[in-house]
Amino acid sequence: MGNKFDVIIIGAGPAGLKCAEQFKYSKISVLLIERKKIIGPKTCAGGLTDLCYRYDFPESKVRVFNKMMIFIRDKKYEVKLPFPLRTIDRYELGQHLLNKIKDSKNITILKETTVREIKRDRVITDKGEFFYKNLVGTDGSSSVVRRFLGLPSKLSVGMIYKIPQMVNDLKIYFHPKLLEAIYIWIFPHKDHTNIGIGLHPNSKKMDFRKTKEVLENFLKENNFTYFEKDFESATLNFCYKGCIFGNIFLAGDAAGLVSKFKGEGISYALTSGEEIGKRIINPDYKMPEINRVLRVKKKEERLGKIFENVPFLQEYFLKLYIKFFNKLSSS
């Protein structure tokens, strides 16, 4: 392996793998750097919304839901979804995307490699220096590429327990007086269930310890078996400041392409990785899909801000949301 590449991608998550896929079987030399030994695993609910409609995933690896249950305090509401919501384990997603590029001779994958420093023409790692014409940062919420660009970040936290018990319904629990704008979610998978909660940075009465305690009390009250070793948490960066900075690009979580209130990130990662790859190949490409998902992100965050700032109306807004989706599904 030489040390000069047309494109260096840092981070082999969904954004990095999807970006690399755009160059497969081409004459463009690509280096994909990943700090972990195994590609795929990450703290994540594993939800695939309608923003992923363009992407196919193995049927054997996903669960599909046409409805979800929303609980407001102790009252249950059934919501018919106008689009199927799928779940996929992050290891399975990573391996599915990896399989699409692993036989492409122009793509070199360098695992168990730590990036120590970024310079304008090279990446310095614990395995040497590598020179680039284009650099793509897909290295998550603590992105070294983002820091090199001097961009600020705004972080929320996701906490998850991976539960061995199987659940048949996708469920979301709201309790505005107790949790403010935070909610607990249950995402069933093929062979386990992910149960988690989010923590927003501007929460007035919830901190990491209290939020984790709420999640564990919920698990106990609902007779879920959990073990401390299965607890996972991760930060999510929702501060989008752009994705093109000359010959340096940001995608996915590194770009702040995460929904602040939903925590949704897979769809944004896949879309931004793909679009940036196309942009590098064709500098005149307008990236319409990034513009589409950005409109969704901005709309959700405007509504989320209103929801967060008027706690006394949260139950009213939630019931309107349920009514709207059931009406949309039946039309």
Question: Residue 268 burial by CB count (10 A; 0-12/13-18/19+): exposed, middle or buried?
Answer: buried
* pLDDT score at 7: 98
Strands 155-163 and 193-199: antiparallel
Q: Which of 175, 138, 183, 177 is nearest to 156 (CA)?
A: 183
Strands 122-125 and 115-118: antiparallel
Neighbours of 214 (CB within 10 A): 19
The confidence band for 331, taking pLDDT boundaries of 50, 70 and 90, is low
* pLDDT score at 93: 97
Distance from C-alpha of 46 to C-alpha of 194, rounded to nearest angstrom: 8
Distance from C-alpha of 79 to C-alpha of 69, rounded to nearest angstrom: 6
Q: Homologous superfamily of 4-330 in CATH?
A: FAD/NAD(P)-binding domain (3.50.50.60)
Q: For residue 83, what are its two tokens? A: 């689009």
**Which amino acid does the sequence have at 79?**
V
Inter-residue contact 305 to 53 (CB < 8 Å): no
Q: Which of 150, 154, 156, 161 is nearest to 185 (CA)?
A: 161
Q: For residue 279, what are its two tokens? A: 């942009």
pLDDT tens readout for residues 87-146: 999 999 999 999 999 999 999 999 999 999 999 999 999 999 999 999 999 999 999 999
| Alpha-carbon distances, residue 255 vs 25, 34, 97, 170, 260 (angstroms) | 27, 17, 20, 29, 13
H helices within the chain, ranges in order? 14-21, 90-99, 144-149, 176-179, 208-221, 266-281, 288-309, 314-330
Cα angle 99-106-118, degrees, rounded to a multiple of 5: 95
What ranges do the domains of the chain cover?
4-330
Inter-residue contact 129 to 219 (CB < 8 Å): no
* pLDDT score at 172: 96
Using left for φ > 0, alpha for ψ between -120 and 50, and beta otherwise, residue 73 falls in left
Q: Which has more pLDDT, 318 or 271?
A: 271
Distance from C-alpha of 248 to C-alpha of 197, rounded to nearest angstrom: 34
* pLDDT score at 290: 96
Q: What distance lies between CA 318 and its chain's CA centroid?
A: 24
* pLDDT score at 74: 84
pLDDT tens readout for residues 174-210: 988 888 778 999 999 999 999 999 988 777 788 999 9
